Amino acid sequence: MKAHPPEEGRSAEARGADRQVAPHWPDGFDGRRCIRSRGAFHIWAVRGGEHARTVVVPAPHTDRDVALQCLRELARVHRLVSGPLFPQVVEMSEAPPLVAFELDAVGDGEQLLAGLSRRGELLGYREAAGFVRALGDALIHLHATRDPESGHPLTMGQVCWGNFLFDAQGRPSYLGLGHNLVACTEYGAASGQPGVFMAAEVAAGQGASPGGDLAACVAMFRSLLPHVALPVGLAHALSGRGEGALGRLVRWANRAVLIAIPGLRPDITTAMRAFERAWRLLGIRPDMAALRRRCLEVLTRDEAQLVVASDGSWFQLDGGDRQQLEHQAALRRILAALLDTHRTGASLSVDALREAGWPGESMVPRAANNRVHVALSTLRRRGLRGHLQRFDGGYRLDPALDIQAR
């Protein structure tokens, strides 16, 4: 997208407080779980019976016409390629705008790395190598496919950990061909998402290329190193102390990929041969099955669960102490209102929360606002801190929170 947003004359606060619109889902799909709820596009996992979909929808504040163009391109390019890392498009809707993929997503790469960091854990090197091999094989297939509109090979262009979704079996998928819905706004500008990797020439405004994809992915692999238990030999080579064949391979990757002149980089097949040689020197075999098991274990255990009494008299977060609300009617009603809007990801304004907590009661505006903020602070203090979010000019419960009624 080359268009620029019509933002002149609007404050950042006004732009962030655009209308909140509940996402539309494919017919027959009821179970919903938010995978990503920031940026220009949100990602939801939805389920109906035995079927599951991953749905991409524009955020409420986006320019809907421009966002629809992005979704069309996302669907068009994803339909050009097939393979284990590229999920199949099963629906493209224009009114309301969404793209649905045949993918039962449970989390993304950012959530995976965050889950490891929170517990001070590392991926095994064989597990990390399994991801590198899977992505390398997928890139070979991607670059062998040409876009009928441009005649050029398909590319990723930019890549970040938020582009990688993991399904209910721990298998990775890439979402973002045609328009990088994590790294970019609907206008194609940088979204502010940290940890976006791209070749220098792409950052400077040139078009994407297979060689640029290689540079971006090698940089992304390097960013994974703090989360990986590195073999001693590889750690020495990466620190510049390796003198043998492994050290030469690391120096080759630096010269031929990361700092190479655009157009002179090797292709993905050549790069993967270098990776395979390094793995032989280290005496390891990439283990994709182990990676899948580990990803699934980290992503599913990290899901916070909020249990609420059917009458609203108590709530319990992640098996902790029950928080009694039996004699706190206003808190109980405010929590009920937040629960009612949780499935849509919508936020409630301070006025809406005041009406929920003290229905029909006439109050001076400042006093009313103070009551609401005290109530929200109380809910946070009693366990919802980190799960009660400020969003779009109001408040909501984290869409990723798993809520159960008892």
Query: Which tens digit of pLDDT belongs to each residue from 120-131?
Result: 899 999 999 999
270 alpha carbon, distance to own chain's centre: 30
Determine contact, residues 350/372, Cβ cutoff 8 Å. yes
Mean pLDDT in the chain? 88
Q: Using CA of residue 7, residue 8, residue 13, residue 19, what is the dihedral sign? A: negative
Determine contact, residues 90/102, Cβ cutoff 8 Å. yes
The structure tokens listed for 117 are 């960091």
User: What does pTM read for this prediction?
Assistant: 0.72
The number of beta carbons lying within 10 Å of the beta carbon of residue 336 is 15
Write down the CATH superfamily of domain 12-300. Answer: Transferase(Phosphotransferase) domain 1 (1.10.510.10)
pLDDT class for 1, splitting at 50, 70, 90? very low
The CATH number given to 304-405 is: 1.10.10.10
Q: What is the predicted pLDDT for the residue at 305?
A: 77
pLDDT class for 303, splitting at 50, 70, 90? low
Distance CA 278, CA 3 (A): 44
Q: What is the predicted pLDDT for the residue at 194?
A: 81
Q: What is the predicted pLDDT for the residue at 336?
A: 93
Q: What is the predicted pLDDT for the residue at 404?
A: 78
Q: What is 277-306 written as a DSSP string? A: HHHHHHT----HHHHHHHHHHHHHHT--EE
pLDDT class for 10, splitting at 50, 70, 90? very low
pLDDT class for 380, splitting at 50, 70, 90? very high
Over residues 150-194, the pLDDT tens digits come to 999 999 999 999 999 999 999 999 999 999 999 999 999 998 888
pLDDT class for 302, splitting at 50, 70, 90? low
For residues 251-275, average pLDDT:
94
The answer on pLDDT for 5 being more than 60 is no
Determine contact, residues 87/102, Cβ cutoff 8 Å. yes
pLDDT class for 343, splitting at 50, 70, 90? confident
Strands 228-229 and 123-124: parallel
The answer on pLDDT for 214 being more than 90 is yes
Q: Map tokens 């032989």 to a residue.
A: 280
Q: What is the predicted pLDDT for the residue at 24?
A: 58
For residues 352-374, average pLDDT:
92
Q: What is the predicted pLDDT for the residue at 17?
A: 32
The number of beta carbons lying within 10 Å of the beta carbon of residue 129 is 25
What does the domain layout of the chain look like in residue ranges?
A: 12-300, 304-405
Q: What is the predicted pLDDT for the residue at 241?
A: 80
Q: What is the predicted pLDDT for the residue at 314?
A: 93
Q: What is the predicted pLDDT for the residue at 15?
A: 34
Q: What is the predicted pLDDT for the residue at 386?
A: 79
For residues 105-116, average pLDDT:
91
Q: What is the predicted pLDDT for the residue at 321?
A: 82
Distance CA 366, CA 235 (A): 59
Alpha helices in 63-195 (DSSP H): 64-78, 109-118, 125-143
pLDDT class for 307, splitting at 50, 70, 90? confident
Distance CA 35, CA 47 (A): 13
Among 24-38, 89-103, 287-301, 390-404, name the one with the lowest average pLDDT: 24-38
The answer on pLDDT for 14 being more than 50 is no
Task: Produce one character per residue of 163-186: b if its CB has 16 or more CB atoms within 10 Å, e if not.
Answer: bbbbbeebbbbbbbbbbbbbbbbb
Q: What is the predicted pLDDT for the residue at 28?
A: 62
Q: What is the predicted pLDDT for the residue at 114?
A: 84
What lies within 8 Å, CB to CB, of 283 at 6+ separation is none
